[in-house]
Structure 1
């Protein structure tokens, strides 16, 4: 059955076909008149690129099928957003006078086989095209498509995503989602999944209560491709991120997308297991200089080998924060049933979990003001007591007069980020850093005034759990020349190394502080180090 749809804003869509017999006549027309802010001048639009290596060339009929796929995905995202309460809000597309999606065709400089050996070359050529043709770029988001075998990866990198198909031929499935006719084509599940990454979506898994529906941003790409189109969906947390994605919004709403860092910080919180409710309950308050739209909490399991994973199994719970009476302060409460965390996917690997609190702000940024590990009883599918955590939020001193240096840095992750009061920024050492050849990590702070110091506070909260200190020596000095060792400690685990308070056991009069790290927690041979905040206790 074919569903007829119409576009009422300035454009009338011509008929287009997904059948094998006809390419420009026997077509499924996609109705977009009910979709919010689609194809209007005022909406940010997705830059859709079709990339051709030197040995690949496709005809207009092929490109028309690519257009049909993009229009279908646009409507699919709209229907999913509508199901989560946002109305039919979706990403913008530029449509030409023939009712087709504007495809920016870029001819590569190399062959398909050459790109397949180093696929980042395609990213470089696409970025170079937009540098040379800035007027062609309508938003920060780029989706690069190509014919299968062209050397394109299936991946999302930052705000750019890549995918391919052998033919981009849409076919009906005979299935519907909320009245929307679902289609299939070669690699369509993967195309929609990678586009999600390009629109700011990380991997996120469904809850047990969502089954048999599977999150697109978990393994929903494969689920969709295997004929389960009507059981593939977008999570509330995914839709919360899309709601503030640049391409889902208008140009004239006064928001600088991905601009100002909201500086999200926890004020108070309590996360505890409630066995009488068979749930983890999280509540608290946080501050943000940019209005938050949603907060969600993720529970991410570790694989058996103990290394981090790409969060295919991170089960999320989402809510809308409320404003308190204090300026820029917001509150939240979430109830997270034990049973939902154990959703049947990699449950045996969930003996160790990472709990992360994410705050989504209206300018499209996502902050992680709190993250810690806990363990579970897999046999009972319940969390252990170490999931309980209440606020012990460190109150920072006034460090406005401080100057701070480090003996290395990586890019813009400079030393001053350790004293900016923003837990979402961090200093990072040079990459790669090998202590045996480059020496210990050394961080030196000058208070520019005399102070009584009782100890120090260290926060190493870069995303992930690596590059945290394992051995720390703390020294103080009157004038910055002669140094006195106050403490030399070893941290027992990478989890404990996230937040460290070192008490000197006495009050020291000093103006200079030096922190020496001679051993770190790392998943690689590199011995890099990162700190989000450094402070003193008085």
Structure 2
């Protein structure tokens, strides 16, 4: 009897337990502590923090995370531990995506020094849940003003002067709260399913929606996968990734997304002496050469800028699928990243085979200068597909100046 029991224990230890651990690990956040520690050795400003067997990175300037609590709708009791693990999961996912493009930076998460968890600032609202409906014209200014008032009285609670994720407890009165981006503020909902164990969720897109809106709050515009990327990496987070991420389906960041995040204020491992997001005085002199036979669009030319430029981003945005609004919402824009060839020169090639819409489709080609301080300029140039061929009414050489957002 003892021999059988011993053999059973050996079998469990040798085969069953490792299998359980492997399956459990696949569903958990795994940040390579060696990478974090190596980064911290090179940068004394980073803090390495333990969180229920996970580690997360805190930068000199971090994302502000706020739980905004109406008077008649208290926050869920477990939200701090549950959401801490979820934010570590998000940090790891974003970092893993950025590593594919050669970037080593992390989204900075603030530390609660008392608990060791990701810090979430709980702010009591002045009104009831009905006072903060989904409609942005009613709620956004009201919530932001209350947060700013709280910040004035409690400045040490906040890290970034720019980026803030605002969560509201799920309404209990049948209404909806804000769930969108407003500038560098982004809004999302908290409920019991907002957790690492809530992925995948076939019945809700809230988890992916939070990450998608956070992307907007971190300066990311809409964009979808190139034609070839869809087969390899799945759905772009900033396209329809809120749906795919929630359902546990392949979701990814584009190279332009990763480049933008790499220059974001809350991704910097060392304190910068320059002010983030300062606008430059700049000009663009682009040249375009269309080769429909080779399916290439050559983008050349030059630019000037009073502040250093890190990357040149080009978005090919088809003006279709506007959700009946008549407004181009950019969800299906396909993007490329180019490095300046030398100071002031632009040179890149757009593979037209990567576009998902042709036939007779109007396009907006957007050239964006990504500055080293994280600011992004944007200039728009009209193109048109006619019977499957790309055309433009533009002269071969154009000059656009000082348009930015």
Give me the TM-score of the superposition, normalised by structure 1: 0.61
> In 1, Cα distance between the equivalents of 2:51 and 2:309?
41
Secondary structure (helix, strand or coil) at the match of 1:424 reads coil
| Rounded Cα–Cα distance in structure 1 between residues aligned with 2:199 and 2:217 | 26
Among residues 358, 366, 384, which one is paired with 1:375 in the alignment?
A: 384
Look up the match of 1:70: 87
Matched, 1:84 2:69: no
2:166 match: secondary structure:
strand
Higher Rg = 1
- Distance, in Å, in 2 between the alignment partners of 1:317 and 1:286 is 17
Q: Which residue does 2:50 correspond to in 1?
A: 13
For 1:23-102, what aligned pairs fall within 5 Å after superposition?
Answer: 29-32=53-56, 38-40=57-59, 43-87=60-104, 89-97=105-113, 98-102=115-119
Post-superposition Cα deviations, 1:240-283, rounded to whole Å, max 9, x if no partner, equal: 11111100114533221012x222212x4311211232111111
Following superposition, the deviation at residue 185 of structure 1 comes to 8.4
Residue 390 (structure 1) aligns with: 396
Q: Distance in 2 between matches of 1:12 and 1:242?
A: 22
Q: Does 1:276 align with 2:285?
A: no
For the Cα contact (< 8 Å) 1:84–1:239, is it kept in 2? yes
Q: Which has the higher contact order (CA 8 A, sep 6+)?
A: 2
The answer on 1:146 being equivalent to 2:164 is no
Give the root-mean-square deviation of aligned CA atoms: 2.7
Distance 1:272 1:226, change over 3 A: same
Which SS does the other structure have where 2:286 is aligned? strand
CA contact (8 A) 1:273 1:387 kept: no
Distance 1:308 1:393, change over 3 A: same
Q: Find 1:334's aligned residue among 339, 348, 357.
A: 348
Structure 1: stretches of 5+ with no match in the other structure: 16-28, 33-37, 175-181, 325-329, 395-421, 426-462, 464-538
**Residues 1:320 and 1:112: Cα distance change in structure 2 (over 3 Å):** same
Tell me if the contact between 2:51 and 2:85 (Cα under 8 Å) persists in the aligned partners: no
In the alignment of these two chains, the number of paired residues is 353
Partner of 2:182: 157
Match of 1:483 in 2: none
Quick one: which of 260, 264, 269 aligns to 2:282?
264
Query: Cα distance, 1:322 vs. partner?
Result: 2.5
- What's the counterpart of residue 446 of structure 1? none
Which deviations, in whole Å up to 9, do the C-alpha atoms of 1:43-66 show, x marking residues without a partner?
Answer: 210110011111112354222111
- 1:241 matched to 2:263: no
Partner SS for 2:151? helix
In structure 2, the partner of 1:169 is 195
Is 2:120 aligned against 1:103?
yes
SS of the residue corresponding to residue 210 of structure 1 reads helix
Q: Cα offset for 1:311?
A: 0.8
Unaligned runs of 5+ in 2: 1-22, 41-46
List, as ranges, runs of 4+ consecutive aligned residues in structure 1 with deviation greater than 6 Å: none
Q: Distance in 2 between matches of 1:375 and 1:240?
A: 28
**Residues 302 and 349, structure 1, Cα contact 8 Å, conserved in 2:** no
Going by fraction, where is strand more abundant, 1 or 2?
1
